[in-house]
């Protein structure tokens, strides 16, 4: 109580020395004296009473709202929930959606939201940082809301603690999904010949998909008559229930054909739908004419589905428990590509009556995960290629966040996993999956790479392996580059107008060394037409000839300079030709990956 009185008196004192308070009191006092027919200074009472009434009223209001005012110190870009606690974790201020959430769930203390151990962790961390933004936010699960949050805190005036939470439930679910897919990939690569004998790849695949929260799945391949033939699956306590063979004709309107009739991007074709709560089930099923045999086998009302097709494999998964999320298409993408690669290899093994090595499986899976074509992006001419020295390598490149209507913004990554062979190929697959899934979520380039590094480090910490990465965003609308460099060789930017090269450096460890490392985002403004960007892996400059001389970077620069007026594809092929000539017939010792991006749009400033 004495502390509260002290706070109130301080607020009252500030109001009593506020010039505005005196001005208002003077106007009131003067008005009262004049209205009573007296001179303006006839009596002091009309001046003194409003002075103290104002001071007490304003001080009381500020004293009552003193905790709410602290919310104004929170960053403008933060999301709900956001609130203020005292040093013991008691919630003293919350507003808007946060207040509604807390009232609904009777949350009065931090311990109510997260539980005692987690609340103590937050309070302890806040006590340690004192008035500094927390650089390593905690990730905690709230049972009462059923969500994961990244907690960020700052100490306010007195013992107040400002807390705001960013929900990361989707990212956590995504991490779990890709972890399961990585384990699935390892399993099938090491048991390919057993799969060829048992022919149960679809059964294993169905079990993986159902464990992602789906209620049922229909997995098909295109047969010789161009129909889709396959099996539907649903779960039971001790395993799977599998249908008889179901064939869906090419002229069918069943949603399993939807992705093949949808607009496709460079990664494949995807279609999905969710029944609105207000829509009757019959109306949803009339709009989406599910195959009757599939419906009869599943035996439940279908309320959402996602359908993905790649090559001759089509998968449609039904009734995701928590709804279809944006990252689910990336999960299905990876699953379908893996399944397609394995079914192709099983056909090869059976057709040739021979055993397949794990290396052949890893190579097939990896090659199917690389982009199959170059995306059309306004204002850019792009070329890219990976060449592996040992069938399965660690190099990779990928194009990210591409829309159906190109807008001149282009994201790409080039990576190099340490080592060669199966282990490197699997790590490359893991790194690519993490990058693609995290890039589909909001965040800056530095946030994306930092979080990918955290997840990848946890996956490889005991293997000694690592991955270098160059993550680039080309924005032709705003004429700039942004990038993060994680231990990778700097990209080259050539400007034919000045005949000069700039190396796009930036600090950053290779992925896999330090899970808490925070990566730095770099920027280059003033892109102009004709400039050429080159990103490569060390297999280029560390190519050796018969006398063990390295190829180096200068020949790459010379080729770009001489061919700056040519297309990106021509520049790339000139570099590859020069490398082959330099090796003098020797076999390559390392993987080679290169990406060339040329700024071509006439709308760019010149």
Q: Give the separation between CA 439 and CA 326, rounded to whole angstroms.
A: 11
pLDDT of residue 340: 63
Going edge to edge, which strands form the sheet with 395-400? Answer: 395-400, 409-417, 467-475, 480-486, 522-525
Residue 283 counted as domain residue? yes
Q: Is residue 606 part of a domain?
A: no
State residue 259's pLDDT score.
76
pLDDT at 50 over 80: no
Say if residue 239 is in the same domain as residue 298: yes
Burial of 83 (0-12, 13-18, 19+ CB in 10 A): buried
Tokens describing residue 159: 């013992």
Helix (H) or strand (E) holding 92: strand 91-94
Q: Quick check: 417 pLDDT over 60?
A: yes
501 lies in the same domain as 379:
yes
Is the pLDDT score of 351 beyond 70? no
**Which residues does residue 136 pair with via DSSP β-bridges, in sequence order?**
none
The vertex-131 CA angle with 125 and 133, nearest 5°, equals 70
Q: Which helix (H) or strand (E) holds 581?
A: helix 568-583
pLDDT > 70: what percent of the chain? 75
Say yes or no: 398 and 310 in one domain: no
Q: How far is CA 381 from CA 377, 396, 527, in A?
A: 8, 20, 14
Does the residue 468 lie in any domain? yes
Report if residue 339 sits inside a domain: yes
Instruction: Tell me the CATH number at 131.
Output: 3.30.450.20
The single-letter DSSP state of residue 38 is S
In this structure, the answer to whether residues 544 and 397 fall within a common structural domain is yes
- The CA distance from 30 to 556, in Å, is 86
The pair of three-digit structure tokens given for residue 323, joined into one six-digit string: 């709804």
Short-list 436, 423, 315, 419, CA closest to 370:
436
CATH of the domain at 526: 3.60.40.10
pLDDT band at 372 (very low <50, low <70, confident <90, very high): confident
Phi, psi of 603 (to 5 degrees): -75, -15
pLDDT at 576 over 80: yes
Alpha carbon of 476 to those of 331, 503, 534: distances in Å?
30, 19, 16
Which of 182-186, 363-367, 436-440, 549-553 is least confident?
363-367
The answer on 142 and 32 residing in a single domain is no
Cβ proximity of 222 and 228 under 8 Å: yes
Confidence at 137, pLDDT banded by 50, 70, 90: low
Same domain, 293 and 157: no
Question: How far is Cα 432 from Cα 435, in angstroms, rounded to an integer?
Answer: 5
Q: Check pLDDT > 50 for residue 404.
A: no
Q: In which order are the strands placed within the sheet that holds 592-599?
A: 380-387, 592-599, 532-536, 491-495, 500-504
Q: Say if residue 5 is exposed, middle or buried (CB neighbours under 10 Å; 0-12, 13-18, 19+).
A: exposed
pLDDT in tens, 97-120: 888 888 888 988 888 998 888 888
The answer to whether the beta carbons of residues 473 and 409 sit under 8 Å apart is yes
- Domain-located, residue 365: no
Residues present in the chain in total? 606
Q: Which residue has the tokens 């306590």?
A: 237
On the CB side of 242, how many CA atoms lie within 13 Å of its CA?
Answer: 16
User: Measuring CA to CA, how many Å separate 460 from each of 197, 418, 465?
Assistant: 32, 12, 6
Residues 133 and 192 in one domain: no
For 159-170, what is each residue's pLDDT tens digit? 778 888 888 877
The verdict on residue 221 lying in a domain is: yes
pLDDT in tens, 294-341: 999 999 999 999 988 877 788 899 999 888 877 777 677 766 666 666
Q: Same structural domain for residues 55 and 182?
A: no
Contact 525, 604 (CB under 8 A): no
| 133 in the same domain as 100 | yes
pLDDT of residue 133: 45
Among the listed residues 361, 417, 427, the one whose alpha carbon sits nearest the alpha carbon of residue 394:
417
Query: pLDDT: is 461 or 466 the higher one?
Result: 466
Which domain covers residue 504, as residue numbers?
370-599
Distance CA 210, CA 217 (A): 7
| 12 SS3 class | helix
- Of the candidate ranges 306-320, 481-495, 520-534, the one whose mean pLDDT is the lowest: 306-320
The whole-number average pLDDT for the span 252-271 is 73
> 387: part of which helix (H) or strand (E)?
strand 380-387
What gap in Å lies between CA 243 and CA 220, rounded to an integer?
12
* N- to C-terminal Cα separation, the chain: 70
Range with the poorest average pLDDT among 176-180, 290-294, 359-363, 419-423 = 359-363
In a domain, 27, yes or no: yes
pLDDT value of position 134? 44
Given a contact cutoff of 8 angstroms between Cβ atoms, the answer to whether 541 and 556 are in contact is yes
- Predicted pLDDT at 392: 54
Phi, psi of 265 (to 5 degrees): -115, -165
Residue 503: predicted pLDDT: 93
Cis peptide before 218 (omega within 30 of 0): no
Last residue of a domain, one of 107, 136, 167: 167
Locus of tokens 């057709």: 351
3-state secondary structure of 434: helix
| Same domain? 163 vs 177 | no
Helical (H) or strand (E) element with 303: none
Count of beta carbons in the 10 Å neighbourhood of residue 72: 8
Q: What is the C-alpha to C-alpha distance for residues 422 and 512, in angstroms, rounded to an integer?
A: 18
Domain final position from 115, 132, 167: 167
| Across 542-558, average pLDDT | 91
What is the reported pTM? 0.60
Same-domain status, 233 and 374: no
pLDDT at 603 over 50: no
CATH number for position 299: 3.30.450.40
Name the more confident of 372 and 602.
Answer: 372
Residue found by looking up tokens 């680039």 in the block: 472
In this predicted structure, which of 59-63, 263-267, 273-277, 344-348 has the lowest mean pLDDT? Answer: 263-267
- What is the pLDDT averaged over residues 349-359? 52
Q: pLDDT-based confidence at 1, cuts 50/70/90?
A: very low
Give the C-alpha separation, 58 to 64, whole Å. 10
For residue 77, pLDDT beyond 70: no
Task: Tell me what the mean pLDDT of segment 7-30 comes to.
Answer: 73
Quote the DSSP letter at residue 443. Answer: -
Q: Is residue 529 predicted with pLDDT exceeding 80?
A: yes
297 and 417 housed in the same domain: no
Query: Token pair for residue 604?
Result: 């760019």
Final residue of a domain: which of 116, 144, 167? 167
Question: Which pLDDT score is estimated for 64?
Answer: 59
For β-strands 592-599 and 532-536, DSSP reports them as antiparallel
| Structural contact between residues 467 and 416, judged by C-beta atoms closer than 8 angstroms | yes
Per the structure, the count of domains in the chain is 4
Instruction: Establish if 319 belongs to a structural domain.
Output: yes
The average pLDDT across 349-363 equals 53
Range 24-52 burial, b when 16+ CB lie within 10 A, else e: ebeebbbebbeeeeeeeeeeeebbeebbe
pLDDT in tens, 177-202: 766 766 776 666 666 566 666 777 78
């Amino acid at each position: 109580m004495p502390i509260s009185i002290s706070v109130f008196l301080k607020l009252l004192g500030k109001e009593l020395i506020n010039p505005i308070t005196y001005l208002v009191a003077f106007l009131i006092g003067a008005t009262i004296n004049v209205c009573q027919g007296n001179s303006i200074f006839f009596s002091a009472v009309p001046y003194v009473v409003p002075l103290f009434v104002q001071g007490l009223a304003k001080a009381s209001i500020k004293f009552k709202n003193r905790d709410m005012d602290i919310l104004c110190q929170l960053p403008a870009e933060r999301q709900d929930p956001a609130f203020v606690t005292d040093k013991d974790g008691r919630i003293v201020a919350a507003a808007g959606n946060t207040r509604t959430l807390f009232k609904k769930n009777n949350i009065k203390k931090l311990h109510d939201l997260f539980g005692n151990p987690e609340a103590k962790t937050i309070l302890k961390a806040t006590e340690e940082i004192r008035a500094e933004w927390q650089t390593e936010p905690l990730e905690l699960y709230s049972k009462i809301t059923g969500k994961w949050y990244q907690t960020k805190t700052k100490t306010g005036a007195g013992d107040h603690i400002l807390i705001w939470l960013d929900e990361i439930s989707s990212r956590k679910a995504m991490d779990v999904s890709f972890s399961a897919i990585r384990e699935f990939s390892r399993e099938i690569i090491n048991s390919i010949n057993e799969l060829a004998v048992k022919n149960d790849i679809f059964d294993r695949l169905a079990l993986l998909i159902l464990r992602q929260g789906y209620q049922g799945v229909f997995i098909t391949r295109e047969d010789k008559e161009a129909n889709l033939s396959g099996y539907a699956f649903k779960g039971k306590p001790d395993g799977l229930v599998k249908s008889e063979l179901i064939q869906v004709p090419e002229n069918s309107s069943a949603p399993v054909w939807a992705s093949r009739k949808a607009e496709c991007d460079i990664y494949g074709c995807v279609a999905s739908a969710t029944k609105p709560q207000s829509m009757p089930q019959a109306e949803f099923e009339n709009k989406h004419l599910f195959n009757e045999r599939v419906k009869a086998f599943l035996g439940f009302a279908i309320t959402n589905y996602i359908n993905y097709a790649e090559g001759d494999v089509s998968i449609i998964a039904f009734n995701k428990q928590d709804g279809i999320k944006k990252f689910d298409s990336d999960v299905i993408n990876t699953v379908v590509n893996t399944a397609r690669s394995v079914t192709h290899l099983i056909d090869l093994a059976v057709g040739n009556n021979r055993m397949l090595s794990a290396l052949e499986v890893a190579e097939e899976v990896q090659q199917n995960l690389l982009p199959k074509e170059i995306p059309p992006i306004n204002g850019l001419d792009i070329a890219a290629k990976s060449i592996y020295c040992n069938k399965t390598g660690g190099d990779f490149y990928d194009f990210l966040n591409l829309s159906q209507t190109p807008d001149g913004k282009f994201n790409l990554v080039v990576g190099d996993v340490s080592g060669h062979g199966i282990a490197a190929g699997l790590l490359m697959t893991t790194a690519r999956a993490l990058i693609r899934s995290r890039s589909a979520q909001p965040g800056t380039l530095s946030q994306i790479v930092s979080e990918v590094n955290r997840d990848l480090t946890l996956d490889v910490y005991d293997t000694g392996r690592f991955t270098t990465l160059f993550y680039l965003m080309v924005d032709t609308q705003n004429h700039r580059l942004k990038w993060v460099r994680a231990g990778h060789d700097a990209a080259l930017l050539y400007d034919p107008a000045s005949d000069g090269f700039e190396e796009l450096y930036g600090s950053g460890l290779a992925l896999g060394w330090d899970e808490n490392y925070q990566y730095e985002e770099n920027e280059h403004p003033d892109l102009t037409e004709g400039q050429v960007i080159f990103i490569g892996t060390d297999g280029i400059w560390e190519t050796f000839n018969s006398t063990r001389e390295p190829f180096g970077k200068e020949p790459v620069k010379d080729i770009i300079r001489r061919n700056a007026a040519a297309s990106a594809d021509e520049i790339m092929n000139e570099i590859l030709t020069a490398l082959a000539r330099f090796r003098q017939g020797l076999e390559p010792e390392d993987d080679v990956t290169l990406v060339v991006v040329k700024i071509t749009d006439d709308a760019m400033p010149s």
